[in-house]
Amino acid sequence: MMQRPHSSRGIEGIPAAGIPLLQVTELKTYFHTRDAVLRAVDGVSFSIDSGEVVGLVGESGSGKSMTGFSLLGLVDPPGRIEGGSIRLRGRELVGLTAGEWRSIRGREIAMVFQDPMATLNPLLTIGEQIRLAINAHERVGRQAARDRGIEVLNRVGIPEASRRLDAWPHQLSGGMRQRVAIAIALLHRPALIVADEPTTALDVSIQAQILAEVQTLVRELGTALLWISHDLATVSALASRLLVMYAGRIVEEGPCATVLREPRHPYTRGLLMSMPQFARPGEQLAQIPGAPPALSALPQGCAFAPRCQQASAQCQAAAPERQAQPSDLNSTVSRTGVRAWRCYHPLG
Ligand code: ADP
Ligand code: MG
């Protein structure tokens, strides 16, 4: 059934050598409100290779969801993609028509939201929603859709799948509903799934189960995953690479283990130190003082400076540019494994 080729294949099935699956460059997504222009995503660049699991982490309001929505053409007014580029296997997505986005959404890139009811219609049975989701991109008959439904529900660990097809969303638990939303995201075997805090609303034990299942699924299917969460512990359980976001910018990126072991940005270290799992023995758990700045009142320099113990006059004066580890500057191999940060005083 689910055997559409994907991963590193080019448009005509030719491997697109050297081109990442997704390349986001200087993406800017702004909100135009009556009083101000809010730069929710302000010059964000990253890439994702086929099959790669990348974590996007940061406090609430830092622009994670808007980054995710931008990748699916789901930014609605007063928001707008203002600049930059989103390339999927080399194809530019910024500027596509609504119809062109629809042909990509669900088929090439799919999204799982924090609230599964953003995906599920309360008035349709699970089976009917799955059939509609299939028919958005393919013509299949009722029985074939049912068979495919059973297959994907089995895949995401839903017992008695054929009976569940006739259930309505309200008859399922929150965890089961989220599994159905994940199953729907997997229907067309997209090359990339953007998962925006998909387990945040669930009980911790269910969170852990779903996390483990998603990990197995993406490995089996070769799907790339952008896992968005405010919770560094959840993200780092899954991702091989981390992007840390603050006030609309990526302030640190690198291989997950390296970032956890040697954070360069004081913000990343603050996130780490506030988590029991990552605190060094004897080190006191500490919350980052203060709160993220409102986008309508960003400081002139580094947006983190008002909360930062290392901040100097330089930090107050102008926001630091992105700096890459010298060994990564000319490296093509570590293109997506690059280690970079935006800080004048990176930690050693
Ligand atoms: P996150 O997912 O990291 O919590 P979001 O991407 O949802 O953050 O939001 C980033 C910023 O974009 C918010 O801090 C807010 O200022 C702004 N924003 C989001 N949605 C809207 C909206 N509908 N209207 C105006 N501003 C918005
Ligand atoms: Mg969000």
- Region of poorest pLDDT, from 48-52, 189-193, 323-327, 338-342: 323-327
* Residue 306 pLDDT exceeds 60: yes
Count CB atoms within 10 A of the CB of residue 316: 13
Distance CA 269, CA 347 (A): 9
DSSP class of 9: B
Centroid of ligand 2 to alpha carbon of 329 (angstroms): 31
Nearest CA to ligand 1 atom 27: 31
Ligand 1 pocket, residue 33 CB under 6 Å:
yes
- For residue 115, which ligand has an atom nearest its CA? 2
At residue 271, φ and ψ (nearest 5 deg) are -60, -45
As a whole number of Å, the CA-based R_g of the chain is 21
Average pLDDT estimate for 21-28: 96
| 158 vs 284, more confident | 158
Please choose, from the candidates 222, 225, 221, the residue with its C-alpha nearest in 3D space to the C-alpha of residue 211.
225
63 Cα–ligand 2 center, Å: 7
What digits encode the pLDDT tens for the residues 135-148? Answer: 999 999 999 999 99
| Rounded Cα–Cα distance for residues 115 and 129 (Å) | 16
Which pLDDT belongs to residue 279? 64
- Residue 181: predicted pLDDT: 96
Check if 70 has its Cβ closer than 6 Å to any atom of ligand 1: no
Whether 270 is in the pocket of ligand 1, judged by its Cβ within 6 Å, is no
Residue 190 is encoded by which pair of tokens?
A: 């997209």
Rounded to whole angstroms, the Cα distance separating 329 from 120 reads: 45
Return the pLDDT at 180.
Answer: 96
Please indicate whether residue 119, judged by its CB atom, sits closer than 6 Å to ligand 1: no
Which of ligand 1's atoms lies nearest the C-alpha of 78? 24
Cα of 314 to ligand 1 centre, how many Å? Answer: 28
Q: Residue 64 CA: which ligand is closest?
A: 1
**Are 244 and 58 a contacting pair, CB within 8 Å?**
yes
Higher-confidence residue: 201 or 321? 321
| Closest to 295 measured CA to CA, from 86, 35, 118 | 35
**Ligand 1 atom closest to Cα of 67?**
6
Cβ of residue 40 lying under 6 Å from some atom of ligand 1: yes
- Looking at the CA of 66, which ligand is closest? 1
Are 94 and 81 in contact by the 8 Å Cβ rule? The answer is yes
Give 226-264 pLDDT, tens digit per residue: 999 999 999 998 999 999 999 999 999 999 999 999 999
What is the band of 9 on the pLDDT scale with cuts at 50, 70, 90? Answer: very low
pLDDT above 90 covers what percent of the chain? Answer: 77
314: Cβ below 6 Å to ligand 1? no
Residue 16: pLDDT band (50, 70, 90) is: low
The pLDDT assigned to 282 comes to 73
pLDDT at 5 over 60: no
Judge residue 341's burial from the number of C-beta atoms within 10 Å of its C-beta, 0-12 exposed, 13-18 middle, 19 or more buried.
Answer: buried
What residue type is 61 in one-letter code? G
pLDDT digits (tens, 9 = 90+) for 33-63: 999 999 999 999 999 999 999 999 999 999 9
Of the ligands numbered here, which is closest to the C-alpha atom of 30? Answer: 1
Q: Retrieve residue 159's tokens.
A: 């017992």
The yes-or-no verdict on residue 330 having pLDDT over 60 is: no
Ligand 1 pocket test: which of 27, 32, 33, 38 has the largest number of ligand atoms within 8 Å of its C-beta?
Answer: 38
Q: What is the pLDDT of residues 75-126, one digit of tens each?
A: 999 999 999 999 999 999 999 999 999 999 999 999 999 999 999 999 999 9
Other beta carbons less than 10 A from residue 85's beta carbon: 15
pTM for the complete prediction?
A: 0.91
